[in-house]
Amino acid sequence: MPVPHVNGFADTPDAMTDATPQPPPEPLSRRGRIRPVAELVHALRFLTRLPIPFASTIDPPPLSQSMRLFPAAGALIGAAGGAALAGFSMAGLPSLLAAALAASLGLLVTGALHEDGLADTADGFGGGKSRERRLEIMRDSHIGSYGVLALVAAMLVRVAAYEDLSGLPPLAVAGVLAACAAFSRALMVDLLWATRPARSDGLSVHAGTPGRNGAAFAIITAAGLTLAAGLLVSAESGLVALAAGLAVTAYMRRLTVKMIGGQTGDVCGAVQVLSELAMLIAFVATSG
């Protein structure tokens, strides 16, 4: 990832007394400014496998700064999945098939980035007997029985939830999936901000730590979207979904500190998947 820099000049006696006229100092690099479009593009490039034709023309800000727009990227991912689910249902496909296709499309869009973290976390927490061994298992690219079971269970829950939600109006389907995808990624940002890393290297360390204001922005905007989407389902559904996502994240934060001493990129992925599933379940439970 490119390293941000600031242009400047040396504060030395020679520089101050040189009679030769000096050009004015260059302005701060655009990397240091708040640029929502660049941040959103960077977030989409990190969280998805979507080709973005003009991305190479944009000077990317630090990923830690772009994390405040992870929920916005998540909302786009979820809305696309919701539109696909509604479209498949309106095309007359059986509800189970429509749900399975929409869930599979979501995996293609994200490259199963977070599901990979869920599998590694399940293998490490389930198979390791010590902190060091758990971290070693989580870094191993091979998948074990705990990881396979976690992925199968997550996919079954997602497809079942999608099938139930497919009976809602198309706008509600898109809104619910957008809200769940957005808030679960905001919770991932909050985990990165509030929980120390478990190791001195790895994806979460490389990505950097979001600032307090960035984490708060992510949580507040995603929570607002969830409450708005909840109004399309039932009076209490948004609040119940928020509570479900927060509860799962609080449990995972406590568990990961106990098991490995802090967060990793894999744990962040697991938190995203599990909190999103919890929110989907909450919306299903309150949609009737």
* pTM of this structure: 0.86
Q: What is the pLDDT of residues 77-118, one digit of tens each?
A: 999 999 999 999 999 999 999 999 999 999 999 999 999 999
* Cβ atoms of 253 and 213 closer than 8 Å: no
* pLDDT on residue 25: 43
Residue 54 belongs to a domain:
no
What does the pLDDT read at residue 8? 37
pLDDT in the model for residue 209 = 87
CB atoms within 10 A of CB 189: 26
Structural domain of residue 230, as residue ranges?
Answer: 67-286
| Domain-located, residue 239 | yes
DSSP sequence for 223-239: HHHHHHHHTTT-TTHHH
Answer whether residue 45 is part of any domain. no
143 in a structural domain: yes
Tell me which residue has tokens 């496909």.
93
A 10 A CB-CB count for 72 gives 22
In a domain, 6, yes or no: no
Q: Is 25 a domain residue? A: no
CA Rg value for the chain = 21
Number of folded domains in the chain?
1
Residue at 9 is within a domain: no
Establish if 52 belongs to a structural domain.
no
Could you tell me which of 213, 214, 240 has the C-alpha nearest to residue 229?
A: 240
Q: HSE on the CB side for 192, CA within 13 Å?
A: 34
- Gap between the Cα atoms of 209 and 258, Å rounded: 21
pLDDT of residue 58: 79
- Mutual angle of helices 265-286 and 145-165, in 10-degree steps: 30
Residue-wise pLDDT tens digits, 19-39 = 444 444 434 444 445 588 899
Q: Which residues of the chain have pLDDT under 70?
A: 1-34, 202-204
pLDDT of residue 34: 54
